[in-house]
Amino acid sequence: MTYDRNNIFAKILRGEIPCKKVYENEYVLSFHDINPQKKIHIIVIPKGEYIDLDNFHKEASEKEIIEFNKSITYIVKMLKISSQEDGYRIISNIGQHGGQEVAHLHYHIFGGEKVGKMIV
């Protein structure tokens, strides 16, 4: 699979589609999901063109990988849902069987309320 530069997250990164930004740095953009499934529902994406986690680990620089993971820790602390508070869930759907809808690596962060069972 090749990266589609017209996916919704690529358009958000280019500023063609607005987002309600939570956090941004040189490597990462995070924003509120437009169709939240929980009280807090944040999307975190790398700024590079990566299809999924496998592609990211294969192609991204060590700095990009580190900054992506560090940003998640920063975001959950900023939102006051870290493990020192009530906690949160991170999900990344990968591939067809994993339910991936947008072919740009992204994590969903859920929190602010009890998230429930993992799989129903």
Q: Which residues are catalytic?
A: 106
Residue written as token pair 């129903």:
120
Between strands 21-24 and 40-46, the pairing is unpaired
DSSP assignment of the chain equals: ----TTSHHHHHHTTSS---EEEE-SSEEEEE-SS-SSSEEEEEEESS---SHHHHHHHS-HHHHHHHHHHHHHHHHHTT-STTTT-EEEE---HHHHT--SSS--EEEEESS----S--
